[in-house]
Structures are given as C-alpha cells and as structure tokens.
Amino acid sequence: MEVQVSVARVCPRCLAHQPGPHAAQHCFRCGFRLHVPAPDIRHLEHVGEQLLVALGLDPGQPGLRDTPGRWARWWFDFATYHDDNMHTAFETVSADQVVVVKGMQVWSICEHHLMPFSCEIAVGYITHEKVLGLSKFARIAHQVAHRLQLQERLVEQVADAVQDATSSPDVAVLARGVHLCMVARGIRTEGEMVTSVVRGVFRESAQARAEFMGLAS
C-alpha cells in the first residue's frame, strides 16, 4: 500500500520558510526531514477502540460507538496542522521600537505523558528593517504547539521563528503554562510553569529585559 506523505513548506522543527522547489528533502537551515508520513486515521481509530477495551469498556455500547472515530480525527487534525502563512512582514516605519504581543493562548501535548498543556505566550522584539504582521505571532505559536512538545522547547522554537521572520536578533519570549500531567495526575496540584527566552539586547541589557518583562506581564 502506498504511504501518503505530507510535504512541509515550513520546517516542522525550526519553522524556517523553505525556498526553491517544494521537492526538497530536507530543511535548508537545520537539515530536518521535510517529507513526513501522514498519520493513518484508520489505525488511530483502531488504537482508540483498543484503548476502550483495555479500560474494560465496550466500544459498541451507546455513547462510545463513535468515540474512537472522534478521538482519531482529533489526533489526525493535531498531527497534520500546518500554517504556511507565518512570514508576512512589512518595512518598518520606526526602528528600535520594542514591540510586544501578549495573551496568545495555545494548547499542546506533553511528550512525556501524552497529556495536554496550555500556554499563554508573550513575544517581544526590537524592530530593525522589518515588522511582522500582527496575526503571524499567533500563527507561529500555534504551529509550534501542534506537536508533541516541552514548554522549554516551545519558547525556543517560537523565538527561532520570530527571529527568522523579523531578521531581528533582539527577541524575547515568555510562556506561562498549566500542565495536566501535574494537575490531573501524580500530585494533582494546580501550578503554573513559567519559561522565557531572551536574546540580543534583551539578554545583554537588564533594562531592556525588565522593560519586556513588565510589558509582557
């Protein structure tokens, strides 16, 4: 049986926009393989049915008959999410401004426990030659979140993508996350995880870093 593949025009790892022919096998920047086997939705549905059986439930009972299919479609949609419209930028009208976009809410899946976590993300950068379209920050955040993730890696990848799209070395990202692997299992305690990435002037200057943190909070 022929296996379908999805061809990324944006690298799934570093989110670099891929120039040239779409037949390229690997990302020009990080070397990541761009041709990824598409998820098998029928296999996912079978896995969902077997999960119900393993839990001692009858997949044929009322209320559960369509559950494996819904579960499979959700995983398929999550795994195949792709936004190719993340790099629209404009000439800046005023350089050296601090731009902060905050309050962006995304959901991802913890790769350690396969449980959801939510993150509220704030991104800041100092304008140089280009300004990034406002909606692109949210598109970048969602693209990075739609994979098995760690919050520490998520903020790094958002920073990489914003740096690539704006050509600005001065980028900062702050994320506040609530993880069900802590809230709904194990210790079962509410808690918030805060991670940040600061680059360029935000790392070199305590004043610039404090300005970003104040605007992002």
Rounded CA-CA distance 192/190 in Å is 7
pLDDT score for 25 = 73
- The CA-based diameter of the chain, rounded to the nearest angstrom, is 63
pLDDT score for 94 = 80
pLDDT score for 9 = 65
Rounded CA-CA distance 182/118 in Å is 12
Q: What is the pTM of this model?
A: 0.86
pLDDT score for 93 = 81
pLDDT score for 8 = 53
Domain boundaries, the chain: 41-80, 89-216
pLDDT score for 3 = 37
Under a CB-based contact definition with an 8 Å cutoff, are residues 181 and 151 in contact? Answer: no
pLDDT score for 11 = 74
| Tens-binned pLDDT, residue by residue, of the chain (217 aa) | 333 444 456 776 677 777 766 667 777 777 666 666 778 999 999 999 999 999 999 999 999 999 999 999 999 999 989 888 888 889 888 888 999 999 999 999 999 999 999 999 999 999 998 999 999 999 999 999 999 999 999 999 999 999 999 999 999 999 999 999 999 999 999 999 999 999 999 999 999 999 999 999 9
Joined tokens for residue 24: 């390229």
Rounded CA-CA distance 99/91 in Å is 14
Rounded CA-CA distance 83/72 in Å is 21
Q: Which amino acid is at 87?
A: H
pLDDT score for 39 = 86
Q: Which fold has domain 89-216?
A: GTP Cyclohydrolase I, domain 2 (3.30.1130)
